[in-house]
Each structure stands twice: as structure tokens, then as C-alpha cells.
């Protein structure tokens, strides 16, 4: 299965084509829209989310609520296009207005201009913008429905905002009570995180954070220890690193494992009649030798602060070469809740691709039967 996305932040809309979905998957459109709404929510989001009411329109691949096995096209139309048509239309628009030449440090603006040419970073930022993630979330919601049909569940929560961190560990079943404002688990920590965001907003600044993702129900043997590009951790890390503003990914104990002794890191193996092999810990994050080992998958994603700052960092105008403050019309102060939703979606899409590649299923009955036969 392959996902391709297209679309610009202030263009007509954002589009996704999911190729290789099996036939017979029941699609719940309300669920897709619910994930889109979650992506738009969260404390610290900017003014753009007050304009948009993201909804997915299915343009192909589904008949009467069921996939056909043909490429599925999803569209998320940009309401803001109404305000931008005269600067963004594919033909006959005014490209001399709404130019961006005071390139933003941390954004794709300057490097994109060097690579693609020109002096108007609008041509770069329109695609580099995290607005693209809306349609990835729509596609991820479809993949989540496929995974749910074979008992795989993806969840997560926000562990830190700026330097405010929740150090507790949570069981998968507890994650359903994550708090709506920031998807944090602890009210006290979340209150502190919200105050941190308020401080950033007052200073015209931004902040990032860390989300933890968990996956239940993945059987052993996904990925490979034989060919390195097929390693499951490499595939999941690539899916997560492809999200705008992500600067780091950890699997299981991650970077902390490097500071501990092996005897405190590796998950010892036990066996009981009827239960089979089991572990009492999961510091490997469910992946050993590049393969799922049947335990829960545990991944952490670090998001840098969004690079559009209302205070504007020092930069250079690419036309005049004079010093300037970087461009800013509006900004998200913190989009960590959105990142959590996008990261879950990326994991859903990457895992659906793995499941379909391993089972080779063309329809959902085949998928259920073949997945069911795999070892735990």
C-alpha cells in the first residue's frame, strides 16, 4: 500500500491517494472527520484553525461505504482558499502580492529557494506547511479502520510541552482518559504546560514537546532482521520523521537505554505452559532485531517549536540582502496535540502498509484469515 499526498496550504485543498487498500473495508466517514477535528484542536493553536472546519470528501475507491480495492482519493478542501484564490489560483493570479522574502529561520523558506529557485518563499512554504498533515490524518484514519478490523489499536498522549514533562508511565487502557486541552494525562502537569504556552504566547514565541505513541495487537515478525531497509523500527522512524517539525524519534527506552547497563535494559524472557513466551518489562518498545516481538509498540516523537514566531527572529531579506525580522502574519504557539494526532496517523499508515505487504491480502476476508494465522 502506498500513500501520496498533494496540495498547498492556501490552495484549493489537500489530497491523498491510498493505493493498494484491500476491497471490503467498511469506511466510517464520521470517524475520519472526528480525527480531522482532533488535529485542529488543542491549547495553543493559531487563528487558521478558526477559519477551517476540516472534513474529508471521498472522491474514489469507495462504493456505498465499502472499499473497492481501487485507489482511494480523499480531499480536504481549504476554506481559506476563498481569501487566497487571487494569489494562489493555478492560472491568472497575482503572484506579486503576498510574497515572502524575509525568510524564517527553521522553516523550509531559504533552503527551498536555493533548491527550487526564485525569491518568493511563498512557492516553498505553501507545500512545506504543516497544513499538509490534515490529509495525512484523513488517510491515517482509513488505515486505522483497517487495523482495527484485525485487532490492532493505536493510541498515545502528550508527555511534555517545552520542558514541562510528565514522568509517569501509563497502561494502554488508561490513555483513553487523556485530557482534551493538550492530550496530557495529568491535570497538574497539564496546567503547568498551559501556563508555559501562555508565557510563550505573551512573548510572541513558540514551543514544542514530546508525544508518546503506543500500539496494541501487533503480532510478532513484522519488519526484518535480514534486510536492513525492512527493519520495522527504521520504517516507523521514517514515517514519524517525515512529519513537519519532528526532530527526534525514540523506540522504547530510546536514548535513556544508552545511559544504563545492559542488565537494566533488555527484557528478560520467561515461559509458562498455556501462556507461552512472555516478558515482565518492555524497554525494547516491542521491537527486537528490527522485528515486532509481540509486545506493545512504544515510540516517542519530539517536535521542535514551530518556526513562525510573532516576535520574528533575525534574518535577511532575500531580495535586498538587508537584515530584517522574519515574516509572521499569524502563528501557532504550540501544536503538540496536533502532532500527537498526526503521529498516530503516520503510525497507522505505516503499519497498514506492513500488514498488507506481509499478508498480500486483496480483500478484508483474506486479511483477517491470513493475519489470524500469524504467530503471536
Q: Under the rule (CB under 6 A), what is the footprint of ligand EPS?
A: 9, 46, 48, 107, 129-131, 133-134, 306, 308, 330, 332, 338
Q: Are strands 246-251 and 297-303 parallel, antiparallel or unpaired?
A: antiparallel
Closest contact distance (angstroms) between CB of 314 and ligand EPS is: 18
* Closer residue to ligand EPS (CB): 207 or 338: 338
Q: Which CB, 101 or 133, lies closer to ligand EPS?
A: 133
Q: Which is nearer to ligand EPS, 127 or 216 (CB)?
A: 127
Q: Tell me how far apart the alpha carbons of residues 76 and 57 are, in angstroms, rounded to a whole number.
A: 6
Distance of CA 17 to the CA centre of its chain: 17
CB of 45 to ligand EPS, least distance (A): 8
Cell numbers linked to 312: 520574528
Min separation Cβ 308 and ligand EPS, Å: 5
Closest contact distance (angstroms) between CB of 325 and ligand EPS is 17
Task: For ligand EPS, give the closer residue by CB, 36 or 146.
Answer: 36
The residue whose Cβ lies closest to ligand EPS is: 129
- When the beta carbons of 114 and 330 are compared against ligand EPS, the nearer one is 330
For residue 291, what is its C-alpha cell? 522485528
Compute the least distance from the CB of residue 363 to ligand EPS, in Å: 35
End-to-end CA distance of the chain: 23
Q: Which is nearer to ligand EPS, 26 or 50 (CB)?
A: 50
Q: Per DSSP, what are the bridge partners of residue 72?
A: 18
CB nearer to ligand EPS: give 131 or 178.
131
Q: What angle do CA 16, 22, 26 make, to 5 degrees?
A: 80
Tally of CA atoms within 13 A in the half-sphere of 183 that contains its CB = 29
Smallest separation (angstroms) from ligand EPS to the CB of 330: 5
Radius of gyration of the CA atoms of the chain, in A: 22
CB of 316 to ligand EPS, least distance (A): 19
**Which alpha helices (DSSP H) does the chain contain, by range?**
29-40, 48-51, 81-88, 109-116, 122-128, 133-149, 187-202, 232-241, 336-359, 364-373
Q: Which of 130/337 has CB closer to ligand EPS?
A: 130
The span from the CA of 286 to the CA of 124, in Å, is 38
**Residue 320 main-chain phi, psi, to 5 deg:** -95, -15
C-beta separation of 79 from 9 below 8 A: no
**Residue 10 near residue 126, CB atoms below 8 Å:** yes
CA–CA gap between residue 40 and residue 46 (Å, rounded): 10
Residue 90 beta carbon to ligand EPS: minimum distance, rounded to whole angstroms: 19
Amino acid at each position: 500500500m502506498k500513500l501520496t499526498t498533494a496540495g498547498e496550504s492556501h490552495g484549493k485543498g489537500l489530497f491523498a491517494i491510498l493505493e493498494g487498500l484491500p476491497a471490503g473495508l467498511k469506511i466510517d466517514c464520521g470517524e475520519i472527520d472526528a480525527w480531522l477535528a482532533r488535529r485542529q484542536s488543542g491549547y495553543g493553536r493559531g487563528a487558521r484553525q478558526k477559519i477551517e472546519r476540516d472534513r474529508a470528501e471521498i472522491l474514489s475507491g469507495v462504493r456505498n461505504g465499502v472499499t473497492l480495492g481501487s485507489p482511494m482519493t480523499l480531499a480536504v478542501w481549504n476554506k481559506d482558499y476563498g481569501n487566497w484564490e487571487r494569489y494562489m489560483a493555478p492560472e491568472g493570479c497575482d503572484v506579486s502580492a503576498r510574497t515572502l522574502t524575509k525568510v524564517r529561520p527553521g522553516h523550509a523558506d531559504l533552503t527551498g529557494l536555493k533548491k527550487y529557485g526564485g525569491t518568493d518563499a511563498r512557492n516553498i512554504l505553501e507545500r512545506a506547511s504543516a497544513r499538509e498533515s490534515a490529509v495525512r490524518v484523513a488517510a491515517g484514519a482509513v488505515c486505522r479502520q483497517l487495523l482495527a478490523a484485525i485487532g490492532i489499536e493505536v493510541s498515545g498522549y502528550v508527555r511534555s510541552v517545552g520542558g514541562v514533562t510528565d514522568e509517569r508511565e501509563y497502561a494502554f487502557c488508561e490513555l483513553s482518559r487523556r485530557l482534551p486541552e493538550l492530550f496530557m494525562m495529568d491535570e497538574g502537569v497539564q496546567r503547568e504546560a498551559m501556563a508555559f504556552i501562555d508565557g510563550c504566547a505573551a512573548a510572541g514565541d513558540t514551543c514544542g514537546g514530546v508525544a508518546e505513541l503506543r500500539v496494541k495487537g501487533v503480532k510478532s515478525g513484522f519488519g526484518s532482521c535480514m534486510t536492513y531497509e525492512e527493519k520495522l523500527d527504521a520504517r516507523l522512524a521514517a514515517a514519524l520523521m517525515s512529519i513537519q517539525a519532528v526532530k527526534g524519534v525514540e523506540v522504547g527506552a530510546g536514548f535513556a537505554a544508552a545511559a544504563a547497563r545492559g542488565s537494566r535494559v533488555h527484557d528478560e524472557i520467561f515461559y509458562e505452559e498455556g501462556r507461552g513466551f512472555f516478558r515482565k518489562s518492555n524497554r525494547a518498545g516491542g521491537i527486537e532485531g528490527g522485528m515486532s516481538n509481540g509486545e506493545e509498540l512504544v515510540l516517542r516523537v519530539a517536535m521542535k517549536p514551530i518556526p513562525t514566531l510573532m516576535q520574528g527572529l533575525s534574518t535577511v531579506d532575500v531580495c535586498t540582502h538587508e537584515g530584517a525580522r522574519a515574516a509572521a502574519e499569524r502563528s501557532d504557539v504550540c501544536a503538540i496535540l496536533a502532532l500527537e494526532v498526526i503521529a498516530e496517523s503516520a503510525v497507522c499508515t505505516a503499519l497498514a502498509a506492513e500488514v498488507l505487504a506481509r499478508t498480500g491480502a486483496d480483500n478484508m476476508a483474506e486479511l483477517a484469515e491470513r493475519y489470524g494465522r500469524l504467530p503471536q
